[in-house]
Amino acid sequence: MDSKANSPAKKRLVIGMSGASGAVLGIILLQILKENPQWETHLIISGGAEQIIAQETGYHLKEVTNLADKFYDIKNIGAGLASGTFKTEGMIIIPCSMKTVAGLAGGYSDNLLLRAADVTLKERRKLVILPRETPLSVIHLRNMLTLAQSGVITLPPMVTYYHQPQSIEDMNRHLAGKVLDLFGIEMPGFKRWGETL
Ligand SMILES: Cc1cc2nc3c(=O)[nH]c(=O)nc-3n(C[C@H](O)[C@H](O)[C@H](O)COP(=O)(O)O)c2cc1C
């Protein structure tokens, strides 16, 4: 953890990356937050996400974990994030696999990522998930409905066009901007309909 994480003035955000396609979205979010001096990031990466980072992106795991202020072993269920007494502003699971959706919907917290999300819910803090699968089964949809009814903000990584993206990077960044907006974090260059277009 660098000195940035020691200041109590920073707002803490938990970032979980689980094993769905779209690992680059989590990486972009972490890159944006690293440039924001007001926020401190606490990162958990599942084994599935590790595999997908290697398969889908040009990043080494260490490059990704270095983007966070603090990185946790997913097996460490005794970490601070496992307790509601550890204060955070909320959590983002980006991307979020259907297995992690199911674990969360069932209250089955068998790793630190699921436990931190469960804690976020029980403490009535903001939990945003970017579930990714296609097509979606009835089981997936039921689990996501359960989560939505429990207050989880479900923001599937759907492509957007109104901001006239010139590249996939543009689309990914816009999506990250939408996620951060939910926590009142302004992403530099974020295009709002009716304002900058
Ligand atoms: C290359 C690759 C892509 C995958 N894409 C998805 C996906 O988009 N959505 C999903 O729900 N699972 C996907 N999976 C399967 C999950 O990674 C798997 O179910 C895993 O057990 C999820 O565990 P986790 O939620 O703890 O990461 C993918 C697996 C691999 C290897």
Which pLDDT does position 1 carry in this prediction?
Answer: 46
Residue 137, domain member (yes or no): yes
Mean pLDDT (the chain) is 94
State the Cα–Cα distance between residues 115 and 110, nearest whole angstrom. 7
Question: Measured from the CA of 113, which atom of ligand 1 is nearest?
Answer: 26
Predicted pLDDT at 2: 47
80: in domain: yes
Instruction: Find the range with the poorest average confidence among 75-79, 149-153, 168-172, 189-193.
Output: 189-193
Residue 5: which pLDDT band, with cuts at 50, 70 and 90?
very low
> Is the pLDDT at 117 greater than 90, yes or no?
yes
Does residue 189 form part of some domain? Answer: no
User: What CATH number does the domain containing 87 carry?
Assistant: 3.40.50.1950
Mutate to test the pocket of ligand 1, among 94, 99, 112 (most ligand atoms within 8 A of CB): 99
1 is a domain residue: no
pLDDT confidence bin for 8, thresholds 50/70/90: low
Q: Please give the distance, rounded to the nearest whole angstrom, from the Cα atom of residue 114 to the centre of ligand 1.
A: 15
Instruction: Give the mean pLDDT of 98-104.
Output: 98
Task: Measure the CA–CA gap between 163 and 173, rounded to whole angstroms.
Answer: 11
Looking from the CA of residue 140, the nearest atom of ligand 1 is 11
> What residues make up the domain containing 93?
10-181
Answer yes or no: is pLDDT of 53 > 80. Answer: yes
Is the CB of 21 inside a 6 Å radius of any atom of ligand 1? yes
Residue 164 domain-assigned (yes or no): yes
Whether residue 5 lies inside any domain: the answer is no
Closest-CA residue to 12 (of 96, 95, 70): 70
Cα separation, 26 vs 17, whole angstroms: 6
Residues β-bridged to residue 13? 41, 90
Measured at the CA of 111, the angle between CA 107 and CA 115, to 5 degrees, comes to: 45
The answer to whether position 4 is within a domain reads no
pTM passes above 0.75: yes
Instruction: Specify if 23 maps to a domain.
Output: yes
Give the Cα separation of 7 and 41 in Å (integer). Answer: 12
d(CA 41, CA 52): 21
Number of domains composing the chain: 1
